[in-house]
Structure 1
């Protein structure tokens, strides 16, 4: 590869993952009932984590944060944008660091499962804490706020389980294609 063009190729890969992260949310959404917010099933986190694992934590976090931010801006979710961006960055860094650390020790498949599970635990924890704070700040007692937040985690949990399986299947297929590009 021409060294002068390398930054352009890297930027193109980041833009690609930002675009597919956005499309993973925009094109496929199934709303679920919840006590807090309007959660829905989507593919965005799958592409966020694939970007983090293939591009690395910084570039993957940047791509995912851009994809989620564009979705939030275009669909009226501006109020939750900071939470979503922070969680995207944390999930990306944790997944990429764990995967890089463990892939040679326990194998790629087990490292993918470990990394994505930990990333989705961050998502579940972040959503729970944010929703608890939201309910508490509008006047609910702490136990009511926590229960309401807990009952709103269904979409995050389903996205997480599906995401772990999808990333584990898609990474070995997509990684060589993106690296070749």
Structure 2
């Protein structure tokens, strides 16, 4: 019975985080003009990182894939939602790997800051590659796709900087909240 309760709790929290990620994108969405895709500033990436930190790599990845991928499907980006899900897989793998590498029980602040920065840098790389794929899908030549993808990075850079700032702040706030709920 205890195992079933734990599995149900995991499913509920994964679904809750997926909804929080979706709402985090839906509430604040500032479009940024770009030659490739329709990038916008949002908090979905930071929330996905937090989901991985609190739920673990697999469940955080699932929450991010549902939240970010679901947003894409329901808001006019369905054709490229599979790329978003691939980005989530890479992001969750990097964040989860670093979190395991820093295996301390009482995580120093600098560990979470490093994870936030690494998540931001990972997102810049994956978004650049995704933009190249999107341009190629639209029939653009490779050289043009590479340049256009680079010029399309401003929204990603802003999202990455906000991720690096928001993750450490919210991690410690949420950690205290979850700790007080358990007791």
**TM-score of the superposed pair, with normalisation by structure 1:** 0.90
Superposition CA RMSD, Å: 2.2
Per the alignment, residue 26 of structure 2 pairs with 26
Corresponding position of 1:50 = 50
Is the deviation greater in 120-129 or in 61-70? 120-129
Are 2:158 and 1:122 aligned? no
Stretch of structure 1 that moved more, 118-127 or 20-29: 118-127
Q: Map residues 129-168 of structure 1 onto 2, 5 A cutoff.
A: 129-136=129-136, 138-142=139-143, 144-168=144-168
Distance in 2 of aligned mates of 1:43 and 1:129: 20
Shift of residue 86 of structure 1? 0.8
| C-alpha displacement of 1:103 | 5.4
The answer on 1:71 being equivalent to 2:71 is: yes
Higher alpha-carbon deviation: 77-86 or 107-116? 107-116
Unaligned segments of structure 1, at least 5 residues: none
Contact 1:24 1:44 survives alignment (8 Å): yes
User: How far 1:34 sits from its partner (Å)?
Assistant: 0.4
Contact preservation (8 Å) 2:116, 2:165: no
In 2 relative to 1, CA 50–105 (structure 1 residues): closer, same or farther, beyond 3 Å? closer
* Counterpart in the other structure of 1:92: 92
Bigger drift between 91-100 and 17-26 goes to 91-100
State the TM-score, normalizing by the size of structure 2.
0.89
Q: Which runs of 5+ in 2 are unaligned?
A: none
The 1:105–1:70 alpha-carbon spacing in structure 2 relative to 1, beyond 3 Å, is closer
